[in-house]
A and B are shown apart, each in its own frame.
Chain A
Amino acid sequence: MTAILMTLGFIVATLGITAWASRKSSGAASFFAAGRNITAWQNGLAVAGDYMSAASFLGITGLIAYYGYDGFMYSVGFLVAYLTVLLIVAEPLRNSGKYTMADVLAYRLRPRPVRAMAALSTLTISGFYMIAQMVGAGAMVSLLMKDIGMDYSLSVSAVGLLMIVYVVFGGMLATTWVQIVKAILLMAGVILLTTLVLAGYGYNFGAFFDAATRVGYTENGVPVVRDFLQPGLYYKPPYGPLNLISLSLALILGTAGLPHILVRFYTVPDAPTARKSVVWAMAIIGVFYVLTTFLGIGAALLVGRDFIAANGGINMSAPLLAFRLGGDLFLAFIAAVTFATILAVVAGLTISASTSVAHDFYSNVLRAGKSTSPREEVAVARLTAVALGLGAVGVAILVGPSANVAFLVGLAFAVAASANLPVILLSLFWKRFHTGGAVCGMAAGLISSIGLIALSPSFMGAAAVFPLENPGIVSIPVGFLAAIIGTLAVRDPQSEEKYTELLVRANTGLGAEKATLH
């Protein structure tokens, strides 16, 4: 009951933010890019908030609680990935784009085919990511509210409805502030959990990690004791090592291709602020992921893998740890924070996907840039948010509550790294690159990553055609190769001419979109 009240409290507070934002919000730059007035630390918190999703909190804690060190590999990859964003993508993107990732591509490439492909990949990636969050929400509610008759499907529907409200009425300004509030709450929750775990060991790190080398649980009906600080509990031969490398590639290259992260760099006034906001995000995200060690191993030691498996499954390791440490009240707090996380991330995903559909597909493909008013663009975005929300609710109900949510998100990263990153990189750094190459690269990256996921053990079980769970190691090179081969096949002098302009813009900020004045 406390959990319900706390969650309701967050919902009321964030609806307040949404109401405030909808009064402040006027015009397209405001709806899609928060007027480009977000400061570096605010954007850093918002990026961190987008990134510290239910997948990170519920999923990674669960993976570490089950597999120790091997689960921690997600934490490491998620942080180091921001170096790719910082060094290669954030500044050129801010300097040469407007609302979406595709703006940068459409710069020197023919807009219609490129934008159509970009809208498709944005929808796919956001969809994968969103389903993972919805699954987390559903599992959480089934754990908490079994006794008051709120089941998995109903709670997934409730989350979907709320996020539609945030996006439709508040736009980017509201989702940014919801994200900031949630990032602070989640950090507080994680720090509190960590402190309580360590308190159980007299704040003695040595004692805690000593215990971590002797974690007991049941494997195939036999009690075993494992060292959780050693590699190899999940990524076992023959395909484990390759699978780990494939996942690492997807994480490190996928972040810089995630549409909902990239759009955040349009909400700040200029490229130097974009850069500073990445560093802010890295500081916050880094602390969060270091602490996942204590949450995961804490759950393995204090709750136990067997108990977790019998009470809600791998995704519920963190909430069960909270219950063990602080009873109903603490479980309620962590549950409310988890819901806040899910709502905020899903709203962020929805706004990036609906911006892409409105700006890329509707204005620039369907209407071919003819006479669309900003008001029309915003209306299309709102409509998309409603449709996408309903669609994601449907699929999340079909997928069901048992899949690990960090793993599901890892697949979204693989799609982003295969379909988006190659064309972003090549259009920024290769003069000869052109529309044909971009369309080939995006199509090949999208088809190969999704195809290999469908053929993987996660979907085909023992009969899998493709032995790796994460397709990155094959589909990322396929995306790059297709883009390069498609480019070399023909020449397009026009996109080569425009390269000089892009180069100057990306490196000097000349002509970049300015913040709106108030």
Chain B
Amino acid sequence: MIATPLPDAAENARGSSLSPSRWDRIAAGADFQALLRAKSRSIVAATLFFLGYYFALPIFSGYFPDLMSRKVVGQFSLAYVFALSQFPMAWIVAALYLRASSRFDRDAAAILARHQSGLNASEENAAE
């Protein structure tokens, strides 16, 4: 944690006063690793898809203007239809990610709850 002397950093202290081994223990857990894998899988896939779809637009408009100027729907050129299609593309990717991420939230909460109860249990053991 950064050395912030602000009093309201105190509200954060619960998190940062954890012993370093606690972070390591959570990070090493199979459940956390599974969450990371699932998350990076969907984020990498979505990112590659949207970057590919998006950059096809300037590349084709720039280097293949004749192809892109072809009228496809009424007066609309292929370029314009493709440009407009970027809007629903962005909305759909965002909606799909929103759906996937509510599962990630549940998994993260479950991991924290397990570690919290694990910690309490070990404290009780230590007290006995």
List, in ascending order, chain B residues with CB within 8 A of A76's CB: 54, 57, 83, 86-87
B124 at the interface (CB under 8 A from A): no
Interface size counted on chain A using CB atoms at 8 A: 76
Partner pick for A229 among B46, B62, B76, CB 8 A cutoff: B76
Q: Answer whether A507 and B39 are a contact pair too, CB < 8 Å, given A107-B1, A206-B74.
A: yes
Contact string, B1-38, partner A, CB cutoff 8 A, digits 1/0? 11111111101101110101001101100001001100
In the docked arrangement, what's the CA distance between A27 and B98, Å? 33
Secondary structure of the B side of the interface?
A: helix
Partner pick for B77 among A28, A229, A511, CB 8 A cutoff: A229
Partner pick for B61 among A73, A206, A209, CB 8 A cutoff: A73
Do A501 and B20 touch across chains, with their CB atoms under 8 A apart?
A: yes
Partner pick for B86 among A80, A212, A364, A500, CB 8 A cutoff: A80
Min CB gap A5→B, angstroms: 37
B90-110 contacts to A (CB < 8 Å): 90-91, 93-95, 97-98, 101-102, 105, 108
Do B94 and A282 touch across chains, with their CB atoms under 8 A apart?
A: yes
Do B94 and A513 touch across chains, with their CB atoms under 8 A apart?
A: no
Q: Report the number of A-B residue pairs with Cβ-Cβ less than 8 Å.
A: 189
9-residue interface stretch from A241-249, A326-334, A407-415: A241-249
Do B27 and A87 touch across chains, with their CB atoms under 8 A apart?
A: no
B127 at the interface (CB under 8 A from A): no
Q: Answer whether A83 and B87 are a contact pair too, CB < 8 Å, given A276-B98, A511-B16.
A: no
Residues of B in contact with A (beta carbons under 8 Å apart):
1-9, 11-12, 14-16, 18, 20, 23-24, 26-27, 32, 35-36, 39, 43, 46-47, 50-51, 54-55, 57-59, 61-63, 65, 68-69, 74-77, 79-80, 83-84, 86-87, 89-91, 93-95, 97-98, 101-102, 105, 108, 111-112
Some 26 contacts from A to B, beta carbons below 8 A apart, are A28-B8, A69-B80, A76-B83, A79-B87, A80-B50, A82-B90, A209-B74, A212-B75, A213-B75, A229-B76, A229-B77, A230-B79, A232-B61, A245-B55, A248-B58, A272-B105, A374-B7, A374-B8, A500-B23, A504-B32, A507-B32, A507-B35, A508-B108, A508-B112, A512-B15, A516-B8
